[in-house]
Structure 1
Amino acid sequence: MDWTQAIDAYCERTDPSFWSEPVNALTNAAFLIAAAVMVRRVRGQGLPIAMALVAILAAIGIGSFLFHTVATPWAALADSLPIALYILVYLFAANLHFWNWPLWGAILGTLAFFPYAALTVPLFQSLPFFVISAGYWPVPLLIAVYGVLLRHRAPGTARGLLIGAAILTLSLVLRSLDEPLCTAIPVGTHFWWHILNAIMLGWMIEVYRRHRLAHR
């Protein structure tokens, strides 16, 4: 693989130059703002996993900025790896503290995400609109399932998860409309994926923080 090959994946990009996606690039500041807000809310409360999620949230913003400026395979990896890490760390935290599973159970439950994704991603790939973001759609589905299952055990947490799933769903819809609406909206709609995702990821940390403080 040529790790320096130019990638043109979004409506806003018109050439391989660094600032060909200014809106997509600059809206990644939303992730850094969300991380700054959440670090102040989490600091000093004895929540190491929450602090790790805040750090990953900031890394998502940096990685996505690189992808929407440099736009090469190595930058795409810098964009996607922090997102995958956030999903896995949050799932581990949910298994450990929302369900109170033992450590080994929380780890196994987290690893179960891989066969879950292997089963659900092809299903979304078979659907015309969902195929564009097929790799992401299993995530709001899983969050919603957790929210429904937790409604009696921890209703406040369940409500927070369902809100997060709804925000992520809207974010994915706008991400998926980037190319189809390119003629009508030359700047594209992908930048809304950044803004809404930053809100959603910060909110998910807040849901975890509130749950931990309420159930200690």
Structure 2
Amino acid sequence: MQRDYVDNYCERTDGSFWSEPLNAVSNLSFLIASIAAWLFIRRTARAAGKPAVELYALPVLIFVIFFGSSAFHTTATRWGLALDSGSIGVFMLYFIVLWARLYWDLPWSRAWIAAPAFLAWTVLISVLPLRMPGTYLAAVLGLLVLAGMLFWSRQPERRQHWRWYAVTALVFAVSLTSRTLDQPLCAELPIGTHYVWHTLNGVVLYLVTHAAVVRWRQVQGVSPEPLASR
């Protein structure tokens, strides 16, 4: 019998609104990350005396992820699923473009090339015979690539940022593992593990945003102190 709702995770047992309470409530991690990032950017923009519009886009996109994920894990509809996955995809594409602008000093007209490059990277990772979602695995490995590029950078002011991306990749790897284990562990753990994915991803989104803001401050000459001393 075909269900009239999307049942992708262990916690959901029927099509009711609160059939995924942990998965729904754990989305607060995204809301907290969005608010914390917004406040940090506002302080930074005031210190720099500049609007920092490109930075404010990050907490706005995190809030959209909060809304999309909340919608999906309560309504269990296909439009909710599209909003959930789509909002995450938009954040990743925007962030990689912003990263190219901040760390490679590229103008927007050239930084956007990073978006199709990341899509090609995602396709490449997706064809590997691994039991993990290609898009998210590409993001984890991509963070390690970014960390490596910064670690081997010849410019000390860029090199010191590699730790942010290495640590974020580690957190994201744990998060992705919890997402992957949700269904296999369903019989032993009926509540599932997807809520861990939400909780840790809020941390991931805040960490990459914080790193971008710190780099922006560095570029603007607002934060000359070494990142490692924070």
Which of 209, 212, 216 does residue 212 from structure 1 map onto?
A: 216
Distance 1:199 1:146 in 2: 18
| CA deviation profile, 1:75-121 (whole Å, cap 9, x unmatched) | 10110111011001100101111111233321112222222212211
Which of 199, 203, 209 does residue 203 from structure 2 map onto?
A: 199
Which protein shows a greater Rg?
2
Deviation at 1:50, TM superposition (A): 1.7
Which of 114, 118, 132 does residue 113 from structure 1 map onto?
A: 118
Distance 2:65 2:160 in 1: 27
Give 1:18's aligned residue: 17
Aligned amino acid, residue 180 of structure 1: P
Task: Check conservation: 2:11, 2:191, Cα contact below 8 A.
Answer: yes
State the SS of the aligned residue for 1:101.
Answer: coil
State the SS of the aligned residue for 1:182.
Answer: coil
Distance 2:107 2:40 in 1: 27
Deviation at 1:146, TM superposition (A): 1.0
Task: Check conservation: 2:41, 2:213, Cα contact below 8 A.
Answer: yes
Deviation at 1:143, TM superposition (A): 1.3
Give 1:96's aligned residue: 101
Give 2:140's aligned residue: 140
1:177 is aligned to 2:181 = yes
Runs of 4+ in structure 1 over 4 Å off: none
Which of 33, 46, 49 does residue 54 from structure 2 map onto?
A: 49
Task: Check conservation: 1:47, 1:209, Cα contact below 8 A.
Answer: no
1:166 is aligned to 2:166 = no
Give 1:67's aligned residue: 72
Deviation at 1:5, TM superposition (A): 3.9
Aligned amino acid, residue 171 of structure 1: S
1:39 is aligned to 2:38 = yes
Deviation at 1:180, TM superposition (A): 0.9
Distance 1:47 1:164 in 2: 23
Distance 1:197 1:89 in 2: 17
Task: Check conservation: 1:27, 1:194, Cα contact below 8 A.
Answer: yes
Distance 1:164 1:49 in 2: 21
Deviation at 1:23, TM superposition (A): 0.5
RMSD between superposed Cα atoms in Å: 1.4
Distance 2:137 2:54 in 1: 24
Task: Check conservation: 1:164, 1:204, Cα contact below 8 A.
Answer: yes
Seq. identity, %:
32
Distance 1:191 1:69 in 2: 13
Give the length in aligned residue pairs.
208
Task: Check conservation: 2:150, 2:160, Cα contact below 8 A.
Answer: no
Task: Check conservation: 1:95, 1:110, Cα contact below 8 A.
Answer: no
Task: Check conservation: 2:9, 2:192, Cα contact below 8 A.
Answer: yes
Gap regions ≥5 residues in structure 2: 46-50, 221-230
Which of 178, 184, 194 does residue 190 from structure 1 map onto?
A: 194
Aligned amino acid, residue 9 of structure 1: N
Task: Check conservation: 1:5, 1:73, Cα contact below 8 A.
Answer: no
**TM-score, structure 2 normalization:** 0.86
